[in-house]
Structures are given as structure tokens and as C-alpha cells.
Structure 1
């Protein structure tokens, strides 16, 4: 995520989601100091949220970070105390030596006494646990169940496993589950869309595991969320906060829900034979409704009633239209002024040749983004034929692209009827568009050299001679043969010794 995109996220979370600086820093994987200074810069520049629609990334950067402004802010050096703790378990390890190694890679960092004090403070927390408190409507936890379900093809008898997606609200424990074929990105995104539709509203935070469909780069400090997953969350006004790697307590709510789903739904359905995803999801939904309506053992009400009373009023309303699945990819524009998607070239403006752009791919469109702006959009289709917008071409390229035999015939009629007749006789013999285009340009060159009247007469003469080649046409014009009388001479009407007559040959 670039610096300016991160600034936009900070402003959105601060003004629209009303999150504090700590929550924003955790969501975006940056320090609280960076969040504070970003908000200060925005306030000094007179910017709030939403930003003006015509304010692109370059203009926003110029307003927030002017060239003559203050020097760049230095981020605090992060120390991985888990790694330090593991090193301290080695024989002969000392904090003094580890501090010296830290200073070699981070000159100017904290002194040795601070290093020891911070490590000891961190070590005291190893055996303590923080109770998680879930505000109403704030968090939804998502994960996949370890157990899968078998679906049998009725025609072939082939078995195929289906993955079980589980989502649960933090405050009420309302649970959602469904089956789909894989944990790939399209199924992952579609499951989230159906989950928020099942809830009838959207939470403010999504806590997910570190699967590739959700997190591109796993990191305790600065995880990189998949661009499509982030885009889907923004559509519903949600924030994605991945759980830390190998820290299941970060998403203990859904870990417990997976166990409940496994015991009360998947185990109940273990002996049934399913022949399709629809049939399996129908059975899951019936048991899921019973689970959510089942009374709590120690509390009043059920998951459904607690959701209606606690979570639902605090959640965000769903947008008017559901999310349209889109994938984001980086691409570099080639010298042919195009980018390749599934082996098919799509044209882009010429000034972007050699530059890196971002592609937003949906089932029906290919959008090209540069500098936070959409520069062009194509209709997505199969095959390998280039998709080209005429405005992306030079005048000569555009003329060739738009040329057709009908255009050539219309031009021929403006020169003369014999020229059009010549084209009518010649164009059916052309097998490729390029040859027809070059032949038409050859006729236009003859017009410039010899004039329209002579060319029209020459075309008539060539048709009488039964030739349609440009070389013959040029020969007729060069030798001025277009004006010769083509009538056949009459036979002699007198007798002579040298004239044999037609009867001589029979």
C-alpha cells in the first residue's frame, strides 16, 4: 500500500469509521505516532473526509507533504522481542551482546539500559492473558473449518470435497456457515458477501486468518491485505485486521464457532449423501437456524435474539448494491501501448508506455488505473484479438483500424464510376485486410500522380482488357493508353489475292 493510499485509509477510518488512533494503527500496521502526524498534516492542510472527488494522489501528496515543508518524520524502530526471547534461550546468550547486534543493524537506536528494561517488561506479560471485550456490532471473525464435506457426482459417482466457511459476530455469537469448493479468492469473497447478507448489516471490523486469499504478506507489524479483499471491505465500510500468525487467541471467537459447527452441524450430516453444493447448503442452513435459535445455557435468550438486540442496531447498513468481484494486478505498459490480460492485449493511452499501472479486473470489464485515476476501461472478452480504443492510436493507425472495403468503394465512387467498378472487381480477390488497404492506398497515389479523370479512364480501359492489377493500371497511365479507341476494325469489303477470307480456314 503506497503512502498516499495509506493516508486516505487513515482519514476514512478516523472520520467515517470513528476509530481511535490505536485502532487505526493496528488496522493499517503502522505506529500511532504516524497516525497522529498524518491527521495533523490533514488538519493543517484543511482536509477532512470525504476528500474532494477531483483530488488525485499527486495533488493530495503536494498538499500534505510540500517540498519546502518540514523534514521527513522518522518512524520508531521496532524490536521483535519474540526473537530476542528465543535468542536468550541459547547457551551463552546475553542481553548485552544482543543489544550490540541490534545497534549494528539499527544505529542510533535505544541504549542498553532501555533495551534491558523493555525486554523485562515484555517478558513479564508472557504468562498473562487479556480478556477480549467485543463492543456491539464491531467485529466479525471468519475462518475455515478443518473438517470438509464430501459431495458425490450422481452421474459418475466421483467424490469431491467442499470447504466449510464459518463467520461469527463478536458480541452476540450469531454464527454463519456455508460450503463452497475451495479457499481461493473468488469463493472467499463470495462467502463474505453472503455472510453480510445473512446478517442483514455489516460489522465495522473483519478479523481473519492469514490465508493467501485474505493476506498477501504475513507480518506481525505490517501485514499486507489482499487488494481484492481490501476493496470488498471498503465497499461495505469494513476494516480488515488479520490475526497474528500462530496466535489463535486473536480469533478465539471463530475458533470456538468452528468447534460448534463441527459438532452440531457437520457431525449430524456425516451419514447423509449429498449430490451438489445447493443440497448441502440447504441442509447446513436448516441446522444453522436451529443453532442460532437455541437458548443459551447460562444467559437469557439465544444467538439470534442477542444479535437483534445488541449487534444489529450498532452495525452499518448494507450499500444499495452488492459488491462486484474484482481482482487487482500490477502490469507494465508495453511498447505496443497495451497490457496483457489472459493472453489478450488491451490498449492504454500512449503516454503510459513503459510505466507501471494497476489493473482492476471484473467478470465483464478491464479497468486501467494510474496515479489513483482510471485512465481507460475495456469490455472484457475471450480470445486473443487486441481490444483497442481508437483514441489510443496515432492518426495513421486509426485510419488503418477503421478502414473497410465499404469505405474504399465509397471513395472510388467519388473519383469516378470506373474506379468503383475496378474496386468491385479487385477487392473480392483480396484475402487479407492489409492487402486491400494497401491496394486502396496505391489507387490514391495514382490519383495524386495522374489525376481523377485519367485514373477513371484507365480503370475502364483495364477492365476492358480483363486486368485488375495495379502494375497494369500504372502502365496504361504511363503510356497514355487510356484514351485509345478500343473498337474492332471492319473486315475488308473487296477481293484481293492476299485476302483469303473466312472460308479459307474451313
Structure 2
């Protein structure tokens, strides 16, 4: 049987009270005439029952007109006001049709009262009009399609605000971030508060939730926060790499909601409001651990045992049905990493923490994604995220992870530039750089850059002497050459300090120096010119 909502029932009863036909009611409301006919029978039965009630007058006395059910044009707040307000007794009732039109135009009660007084000679008070308008106003509830989900199919996640908690750093109370994951089928929730959020914290909270539930769902609906979504898009959202890798480890797919569309994840939104309004309202905690412990206790003893309003079933009972349908957790946890972007250098390596790792088959000059784990380094294609190379993480800075057979020995433009720059310093410097390239290939470019750069800080002749010394003693490392240059520079400074300071004689005769007589004549002319009186400007002084 089709049961109309209360505001539609009131509309039908109001139109029947005004003697509107079923066809007119159908045209105005869009309700089927069979349904209107059934409510017309209800309306007539109630009307006849009211007429036969002991309160109705008998004989020649005229019975009081029955108060029609209130109509509900668009308006605001409390819908119960329209059901309790006696419209028939209001002084505004004769102007009801006009007032309803003004309410639909969203005019306030003050404006309606002023027009009533000006146009209709209304003599009642403003308060009467305000009560009448308040009873007419109501908000039609927004319509939603309630979706049904299979057990273990979906979970929804979001952040809210936790209760006031003492900050261990400042000693003051402030609100931490409240993470909530809610299973869509059973409405069972996982709650945890944290001080700060990050990509790794966001992913770790998901892992904790999966372990709490004993399994993972097929997909997770989330908001477009930066921890999960880098670039929101309706069709191809860009998911955070770390978050995406964590979900892939558990076989879960991320499903970001539309921007500014919280209704897509209304289940977790309601769970956050329920947590804030029931569990945490008015409470304070001395630590995050105390609040998390309380949330676990409250979920197990109260939230999980409640009867859900939509399903009319206990949340815990539905969760027990859903638990077997959750995805089994992997045997090992997810390995967290830090991802950076690096350029492949001329020697086919990338630099991470001052150590170099082979990046082939990535081409020279291209950008690659590097995932840095605790003990390994993964080099991936930046576009497809395909794994290119894996290396053990170097324990010391300056390490090189490049097999000998992968070292390129063919000269490049960088090789020619470095050798030319070394030749500008001196032949021995060029010979040393050539030897480095011949023995190490393009890997030796770094040492060559260092040696060429020494000439910018120290005299070129000292760099040339150091390279000559290095070749004679078979020293082919940049750090050793630099130490030799620094030693030669210190020795040169010592010799300069020890050298006697000789007084240089002043030169009296030189082709560029004029005779002293000419300077005397110049000074005399200047003095005479300064002593001459200045010509009069024609102005008189008072």
C-alpha cells in the first residue's frame, strides 16, 4: 500500500477541505487518484466522526468548523509547529492564500506584516503574523536513494575532531584529529585520535582498522584530503602513492567521493557526529592513549550493541554476519617508504642520500620515482610505476651501486667540456682527468668536476702542481688531490708571511710625472681665480 508522507497527507486534506476535486488534487500534487480516493475516505470518516462526537453541538446550534489539517508550504524550522498551530483562530487566516504566496517568495514575517497593514488594513499585531508564518514554514526533507551494500563490500573513512586532550608539549588542552572507519553493511566503526596527520599516519590508521575488523573490504570511500588524494577528479583522481600502495597490499580500491559531496559517505559522517555528540561531548582526557582506550570501550559496550535506526538490527549482530565476508589480511604488514623524484645522471645512476644507484633501463636525463625503504631502494618508472631496479640501501655516504659492465666509457659532451676545462688549468690537470675517465668512465665525471672546481677557489698553478704530484705518486682520488692543493696553499701563505717586508723607494722621475713647477703654476692660477670679485647680478639688497 502506498503511504504518503505527512506533509503530502496534510496537503491532500487541505485541498479536500477546500472542496477540490480528485483531478485537481492530482494535477497540483502529482499523486495518483487511487491514493487520493483512499485518503478522501479517511478524511470523510474523520470528519463524520468529529461531527458525531460529544463535543459537537446539537439541535439548531451550528457546530464549530473543523480545523483542517495544516498545509505545508516551503519554510523553515520546526515541522511540529504546523501540526499544533490552530490556523482557524488566527487573525491572519482570512489572508492565508496571500501569505502562503509571500512565504514561497521567502519574505520574512516583518515584511508580510507591513504589507498586510498597508494593503489589507490588517489591525492585528505583528506577533500574530509571526506565529502564523512560523507555522506555515517548513523544510521539505531532501530525498536520497538508500543504497544497499553486500557484507564486506565497502567502508567509509573520514577525519573529525576528538575531545579536549592535554598536549604533552604545551600542557594545554586542545582537540586532536579523530579518525573513523565505518563498515557500510554493519555500521561497525573503528575510532582513533592522533595529534598530527600525514601520508604515513593516514595509511597506518587504515591498517589498524583492518586489523581491528579482522579483514579488509573491497573498496574504501574517502574524502579528497591531501593524505589520500593528490588531485581530485570525478573520472581519474590521482591517489597518493603511499596510500595507493598500502591499499593495493591489502587488495582494496580507493573510491574518492565527489568534491563537496559529503552525502556519498554519509555513514561515516553520521558515525563521527554520533561519536562527538554521545561519546566525547563534555569530556576531557589527559592523554591520547586514555581517549583511545575510552573509544574502544565505548564502541564495544555501547555503539556496537545499539539497534541501528534504519536496519532495526543490532550493529554487533550484523558485524558478525559481515566478518566472514571480509578479505583475509596478508601474512606480512605493509612496508612504508618515502618517495622522491630524481634525474638519471650522465653515468646512468641516481643520487640518494649522497650515494649513487644504477637506474638502467631508465634513459639518461629522465625522471624516475625512487622509493626509499629502511633497507632497500626501488627505482620505478615515474609514469607507469613499473619497477626498474632494486638495490640494497647503502650504509655509508659516497657508495656506488653500479656493476662494472654497466659503466659507460664512451665520452659525452660533458666529458669533452670537463677535459677542456682541465686543459685550461694545465697539462697535468688534463692528464689526471683523462686518467680518471679512462679508468672509471662517466662515473669519474664527479671527481673531474671536483678537480676543475678547485681552480675557482685556489690558484691554478697550485692545482696544476697538485695534479702533477698525484700523477707521479699514482694518486687518483679527488679528496686526496684536494688535500694536496690545500697543503700547497697553506705552505704558500706561510712563505708569504715569512718573507721580509722591504720598503720600496718613491719614484721621483717618470715620463708620466709632470715637473713640480707646473703644479705650482696650476695652484697659483687657482688661487687668483678664487680671489676675483664675482660679477653683479643686478639685484639690490634692502
Q: TM-score, normalised by structure 1?
A: 0.49
Higher relative contact order (CA 8 A, sep 6+): 1
Larger Rg: 2
TM-score, normalised to structure 2, is: 0.46
